[in-house]
Amino acid sequence: MTQITSFQVSKTMGFPVFSLACCSNGKSRVCVGGGGGATKAGVKNTFVLFQLDEDQGTLKLIAEKEFSKSDDGCMSLALHPHSKIIAAGVNCPEAIMKEGKNLNCRIYTLKSNQLHSYKMIKTVNSLDPFHHQKVIQFSPDGQWMLTGTTEGICCIWNWPDIQLAHSFQPGNEITDASFDSTSKHFVVITSRKCMILNTSTGIMEWMDENPNISGVLCEFRAARFTKEALFVVCNAKNRKAAFICKYVKSSKQKLEWIREKAKIVSYKPITAFASRYFFNPLFLYNEQS
């Protein structure tokens, strides 16, 4: 059995953090995004790409993309597993958004540690600047891109054509979504529901609702697959605790998942969560970070 070691790296970013992403191909890269939006003078809207040195326990700056003061903060991030592509969810200025021209999904290539614009597409239909792209993920095989919005719309796109394959509306704001290790399934999270869907068909195969952990009423916040399990972040409704729950496949029913463990990891709500596929580390960001 492989021995898994753990370590902690902490870094003050200087801006409110709303998004995290990790590279899934073993390159130990992590991307952090956020900002003050168009209303907070002096707080930049940006995302920053780091190289994680696991031996030294440090984060080394690779590149940074800073957006204009009239743009929104960076609310979602994804790193492509097989190419130097970074996708970010950043709303355009309010005036452009109200015209229906909000190319909010901004995709960049990394060349010689410099970020270059690759493509911009629209994933948010609303004209209300409150709504934004909450989630973006690439599948491990690199053939799919997933987006989820505060409007409650989850979309699967073909990559690299970026053509819409499926659209799914669970009825509430999408707070997180991600693929499994095979790219054949993906999980979608709202505050009340944790759902697993088939990537090829877009059909839901399993769902858990309204989590209650040892008598504590919770809300789903985020989820990530490993090869053998699904890890889900749940925040207590009273905002006094956050849990990571481990779900495993049922040995009795093929499409059933069972909560095996739940562990408290913070006494403040977790606001962002990311992990490398299959291995440590897990990156958590809470309201105190």
Q: Does residue 280 register a pLDDT over 50?
A: no
The predicted structure's pLDDT at residue 149: 97
Class of domain 14-174: mainly beta
Angle at 129 between CA 209 and CA 96, to 5 degrees: 140
> What's the per-residue H, E or C state across 1-39?
CCCCCCCCCCCCCCCCEEEEEECCCCCCEEEEEECCCCC
Helices (H), the chain: 94-98
134, 124 contact by CB (below 8 A):
no
Given pLDDT bands bounded at 50, 70 and 90, which one contains residue 6? Answer: low
d(CA 15, CA 34): 7
The predicted structure's pLDDT at residue 275: 62
The beta-strand segments (E) located in 101-192 are 105-111, 114-121, 133-138, 144-149, 154-158, 164-168, 176-179, 185-189
Given pLDDT bands bounded at 50, 70 and 90, which one contains residue 58? Answer: confident
The predicted structure's pLDDT at residue 279: 40
78, 30 contact by CB (below 8 A):
no
Q: Is 89 helix (H, G, I), strand (E, B) or coil?
A: strand
d(CA 181, CA 275): 12
Can you give the pTM of this predicted structure?
0.84
Q: Is the N-terminal amide bond of 281 cis, ω within 30° of 0?
A: yes
Q: Does residue 193 register a pLDDT over 60?
A: yes
Say how many C-beta atoms besides its own lie within 10 A of residue 280's C-beta.
11
Rounded to 10 degrees, the C-alpha dihedral 127/129/135/139 comes to: 40
Q: What is the pLDDT of residues 232-254, one digit of tens each?
A: 999 999 999 999 999 999 887 77
Q: What is the pLDDT of residues 7-52, one digit of tens each?
A: 677 788 889 988 888 875 556 889 999 999 987 678 999 999 999 8
Q: Please provide the DSSP assignment of 137-163 as one string.
A: EE-TTSSEEEEEETTS-EEEEETTT--
Nearest to 75 by CA among 101, 106, 99: 106
Region(s) of the chain under CATH 2.130.10.10: 14-174
Cα dihedral 73, 271, 186, 274 sign: positive
The residue-averaged pLDDT of 263-289 equals 64
Q: What is the fold of 182-289? A: Lipocalin (2.40.128)
Q: What is the pLDDT of residues 128-186, one digit of tens each?
A: 999 999 999 999 999 999 999 999 999 999 999 999 999 999 989 999 999 999 999 99
Query: Euclidean distance between the first and final Cα of the chain, in Å?
Result: 34
* Of 86 and 29, more confident: 86
Q: Does residue 1 register a pLDDT over 50?
A: no
Q: What are phi and psi of 171, to 5 degrees?
A: 105, -10
Region(s) of the chain under CATH 2.40.128: 182-289
How long a stretch of residues is the chain? 289
Given pLDDT bands bounded at 50, 70 and 90, which one contains residue 289? Answer: very low
213, 243 contact by CB (below 8 A):
yes
Q: What is the pLDDT of residues 62-81, one digit of tens each?
A: 999 999 999 999 999 999 99
